[in-house]
């Protein structure tokens, strides 16, 4: 169902054009958005049956907007929309989600107070800075403060690591009052972005637990068995109080995904059961519910890992007892992409190496930026030599250090560091950092050429996407996977939470095609080496087994893999 997406994009265009002060057009886009929203049929079906002409026939939709809808249906996005968002230097979409704020007022807030998003807006309102602006008063300032809560509640999603550390804080605060505690929802599934955090508890002491939970944020709703608060990052946390005999069923239900749940419930029904968050029931009798395993097992299924619960074939596989043995969170033996203060990282080489050793790694690869000096304080030839010396003399025992570099893939697929320098390195990681708007064919040619380079071992963040910010460039994956196998040039799952690139679906396709992958953090500080688990979560969402991930092998075997 694409109606909501189409309507959202059209509406945002209307807002953007208003902010830019364009006449008439905003109303046309708003009208079209409303019309799509109110359709009783899926716009995709309409398009598939009648083509662009049928879109044109929708009330409020003319030729030009019909073409844009077609683009959204085909690609899930719209170039024109992306461009408009790039042009406006503040987050007008977020600001206009505050009830009472329109394009004019948002423009004023940005111009006069430099307000770029909700956080800035909240601060300015609390500091009493808004009441003095032209067109605003004390009343509008109060209204902003009142309505900003809702705006936060609306679709505000955060990156996985943000939600993950918030959830850790919640856990620490209330754990001692609970006999059982699990974080469920999208966070348990390790989804790239999180809408809200779902926590299930069986309390030892309910009133103490609730009181201590409420201290963590602002109250949104407080009921007997469900409490919602808003946390520091702006997202909500739902706390659900669950009886022990239902805990497994509740955990199953609230872990989702919704698509997975719908299928599992359908399966239960076909077997004469009723499945709810309270348990698995035959007639009125609860036959399972205490643990998830019990619930799945009664349904004749293996227990699918939470990361797999997306209704992407795991239900069938679990019934046939054919679930893969996913790579575990402690299987990785080293990290092959990180940065130090030789380029844009914070820590010294030694700092990074000691941290990696503390994490129990067998090896660490250092890949500071090299080549094009405009990118992230890249190393020149002299610096690379100095770095090699420093690594040689490092003297940290119990961990192997590989000297690599992250070089740039230029528009024509060549690298910006000459072979005679690459030759000296233990391995080379190559990434695209510029010219993102080539065609799919050009992008694929460019990447494949880099993969064919005899010195390149790993392609960093292969699609260039930024989670919540921009989608990656399109590639012809068949060709990329083939090039990976032909040249022993491996694709990366970049574990940096903003990237998580390859995505779960791309990584799964790569594995199905027989490619082996690296999971690297791209850490720019010692603590970011801990991002590895987000990459592993992504790999598990892609059904990766240990054998699919190269950096689970020993140092000796790794050296062989890096020989081309
Ligand atoms: P989020 O919070 O948007 O990142 O994603 P989730 O998956 O955590 O979604 P949330 O918090 O709305 O709900 C938590 C889980 O509860 C969800 O994964 C599945 C379950 N759930 C919620 N609504 C429904 C529903 O209408 N039907 C079914 N079957 N399950 C639902
Ligand atoms: Ca959630
Ligand atoms: Ca929730
Ligand atoms: Zn960097």
Which DSSP string do the residues of 205-245 spell out, in sequence order? Answer: SHHHHHHHHHTTSEEEEE-SSEEEEE-TTS-EEEEEE--GG
- Which helix H or strand E contains 407, and what residues bound it? strand 400-408
Enumerate the CATH 3.30.460.10 domain ranges in the chain, comma separated: 158-241
**What's the confidence (pLDDT) of residue 484?**
98
**What's the confidence (pLDDT) of residue 100?**
82
Give distance in angstroms: CA of 115 to centre of ligand 3: 29
- Measured by CA distance, the residue closest to atom 25 of ligand 1 is 258
pLDDT digits (tens, 9 = 90+) for 319-338: 999 999 999 999 999 999 99
Give which of 453, 442, 513, 449 is closest to 477, Cα–Cα.
513
Q: Which atom of ligand 1 is least distant from the CA of 157?
A: 4
**What's the confidence (pLDDT) of residue 42?**
83
Q: Are strands 226-230 and 236-241 parallel, antiparallel or unpaired?
A: antiparallel
**What's the confidence (pLDDT) of residue 467?**
83
Give distance in angstroms: CA of 42 to centre of ligand 1: 23
Dihedral angle computed from the Cα positions of residues 62, 67, 68 and 72, in that order, rounded to the nearest 10 degrees = 130
Give which of 310, 312, 314, 396 is closest to 353, Cα–Cα.
396
Q: SS3 of 477, please?
A: helix
- Measured by CA distance, the residue closest to atom 9 of ligand 1 is 185
> What is the per-residue burial (b if ≥16 Cβ within 10 Å, else e) of 407-441?
bbbbeebebbbeeebbeebbbbbbbbbeeeeeeee
Tokens of 38: 């109110």
Give distance in angstroms: CA of 256 to centre of ligand 1: 6
pLDDT digits (tens, 9 = 90+) for 413-468: 999 999 999 999 999 999 999 888 789 999 999 999 999 999 999 999 999 988 87
- CA pair distance 564, 455, nearest whole angstrom: 8
Enumerate the CATH 3.30.210.10 domain ranges in the chain, comma separated: 246-319
Q: Which atom of ligand 1 is least distant from the CA of 253?
A: 20
**188 touches 167 (CB < 8 A):** no
Q: SS3 of 262, please?
A: helix
Dihedrals φ, ψ of 78, to 5°? -145, 120
- CA pair distance 169, 415, nearest whole angstrom: 44
Dihedrals φ, ψ of 341, to 5°? -75, 5
Q: Terminal CA-to-CA distance of the chain, rounded, Å?
A: 46
- Measured by CA distance, the residue closest to atom 24 of ligand 1 is 258
**What's the confidence (pLDDT) of residue 341?**
95
Burial of 512 (0-12, 13-18, 19+ CB in 10 A): exposed
Q: Class for domain 334-561, per CATH? A: alpha beta
- CA pair distance 358, 84, nearest whole angstrom: 47
Q: SS3 of 34, please?
A: helix
Q: In which order are the strands placed within the sheet that holds 196-203?
A: 178-183, 196-203, 236-241, 226-230, 218-222
Enumerate the CATH 1.10.150.110 domain ranges in the chain, comma separated: 3-156
Give distance in angstroms: CA of 334 to centre of ligand 4: 18
Fold of 3-156: DNA polymerase; domain 1 (1.10.150)
Tokens of 540: 């598990």
DSSP conformation letters of 360-381: T-SEEEEEEEBS-TTSTT-B-H
Enumerate the CATH 3.20.20.140 domain ranges in the chain, comma separated: 334-561
Radius of gyration (Cα) for the chain, nearest Å?
A: 26
Give distance in angstroms: CA of 258 to centre of ligand 1: 5
- C-alpha of 519 from chain center: 15
Give which of 421, 413, 335 is closest to 378, Cα–Cα.
421
Give distance in angstroms: CA of 164 to centre of ligand 2: 12
- CA pair distance 404, 406, nearest whole angstrom: 7
Q: What is the CATH number of domain 158-241?
A: 3.30.460.10
- Give the global pTM: 0.77
**What's the confidence (pLDDT) of residue 34?**
84
What is the CATH architecture of 246-319? 2-Layer Sandwich (3.30)
Q: Report residues whose beta carbon is within 6 angstroms of any ligand 1 atom.
A: 185-186, 191, 194-196, 198, 253-254, 256-258, 261-262
pLDDT beneath 50: ranges in the chain: none
Q: Are strands 400-408 and 363-369 parallel, antiparallel or unpaired?
A: parallel
Q: Are strands 274-276 and 279-282 parallel, antiparallel or unpaired?
A: antiparallel
**What's the confidence (pLDDT) of residue 373?**
67
Q: Are strands 218-222 and 193-194 parallel, antiparallel or unpaired?
A: unpaired
- Measured by CA distance, the residue closest to atom 8 of ligand 1 is 185
Q: Which atom of ligand 1 is least distant from the CA of 197?
A: 2
Pick from 155, 187, 258 the residue to mutate for probing ligand 1's pocket: most ligand atoms within 8 Å of its CB: 258
Give distance in angstroms: CA of 253 to centre of ligand 2: 12
**448 touches 423 (CB < 8 A):** no
- C-alpha of 447 from chain center: 23
**What's the confidence (pLDDT) of residue 376?**
72
Burial of 513 (0-12, 13-18, 19+ CB in 10 A): middle
- CA pair distance 500, 497, nearest whole angstrom: 6
- Measured by CA distance, the residue closest to atom 27 of ligand 1 is 258
Pick from 261, 264, 274, 537 the residue to mutate for probing ligand 1's pocket: most ligand atoms within 8 Å of its CB: 261
Q: Are strands 193-194 and 158-159 parallel, antiparallel or unpaired?
A: antiparallel
**What's the confidence (pLDDT) of residue 155?**
58
């Amino acid at each position: 169902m694409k109606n909501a997406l189409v309507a959202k994009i059209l509406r945002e265009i209307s807002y953007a054009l208003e902010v830019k002060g364009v006449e008439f057009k905003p109303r046309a886009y708003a009208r079209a958005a409303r019309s799509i929203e109110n359709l009783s049929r899926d716009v995709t079906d309409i398009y598939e049956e009648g083509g662009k002409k049928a879109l044109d026939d929708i009330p409020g939709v003319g030729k030009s907007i019909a073409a844009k809808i077609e683009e959204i249906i085909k690609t899930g996005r719209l170039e024109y929309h992306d461009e408009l968002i790039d042009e406006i230097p503040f987050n007008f979409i977020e600001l206009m989600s505050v009830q009472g704020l329109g394009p004019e007022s948002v423009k004023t807030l940005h111009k006069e107070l430099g307000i770029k998003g909700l956080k800035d807006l909240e601060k300015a309102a609390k500091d009493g800075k808004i009441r003095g602006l032209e067109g605003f008063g004390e009343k509008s300032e109060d209204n902003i403060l009142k309505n900003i809560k809702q705006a936060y509640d609306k679709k505000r999603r955060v990156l996985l690591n943000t939600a993950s550390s918030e959830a850790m804080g919640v856990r620490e605060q209330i754990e001692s009052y609970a006999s059982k505690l699990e974080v469920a929802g999208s966070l348990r599934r390790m989804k790239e972005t999180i809408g809200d955090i779902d926590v299930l508890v069986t309390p030892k002491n309910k009133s103490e637990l609730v009181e201590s939970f409420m201290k963590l944020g602002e109250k949104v709703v407080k009921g007997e068995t469900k409490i919602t608060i808003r946390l520091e990052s702006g997202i909500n946390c739902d706390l659900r109080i669950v009886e022990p005999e239902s805990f497994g069923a509740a955990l199953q239900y609230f872990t989702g995904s919704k698509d997975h749940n719908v299928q599992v419930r359908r399966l239960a029904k076909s077997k004469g059961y009723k499945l709810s968050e309270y348990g698995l029931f035959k007639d009125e009798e609860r036959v399972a519910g205490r643990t998830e395993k019990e619930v799945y097992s009664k349904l004749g299924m293996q227990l699918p890992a939470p990361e797999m619960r997306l209704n992407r074939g795991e239900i069938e596989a679990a019934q046939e007892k054919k679930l893969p043995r996913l790579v575990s969170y402690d299987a990785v033996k080293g990290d092959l992409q990180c940065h130090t203060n030789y380029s844009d990282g914070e820590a010294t080489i030694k700092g990074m190496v000691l941290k990696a050793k503390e994490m129990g790694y067998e090896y660490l690869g250092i890949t500071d930026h090299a080549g094009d000096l405009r990118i992230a304080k890249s190393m020149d030839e002299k610096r690379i030599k100095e770095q090699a010396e420093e690594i040689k003399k490092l003297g940290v025992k119990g961990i192997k250090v590989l000297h690599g570099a992250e070089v740039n893939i230029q528009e024509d697929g060549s690298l910006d560091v000459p072979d005679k320098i690459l030759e000296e390195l233990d391995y080379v990681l190559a990434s695209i950092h510029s010219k993102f708007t080539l065609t799919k064919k050009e992008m694929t040619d460019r990447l494949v050429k880099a993969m064919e380079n005899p010195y390149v071992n790993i392609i960093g963040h292969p699609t260039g996407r930024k989670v919540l910010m921009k989608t990656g460039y399109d590639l012809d994956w068949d060709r990329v996977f083939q090039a990976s196998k032909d040249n022993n040039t491996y694709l990366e799952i970049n574990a940096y939470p903003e990237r998580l690139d390859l995505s779960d679906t791309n990584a799964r396709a790569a594995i199905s095609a027989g490619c082996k992958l690296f999971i690297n953090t791209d850490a720019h500080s010692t603590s970011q080496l801990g991002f590895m688990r987000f990459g592993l979560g992504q790999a598990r969402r892609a059904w990766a087994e240990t054998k699919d991930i190269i950096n689970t092998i020993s140092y000796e075997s790794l050296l062989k893999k890096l020989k081309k």
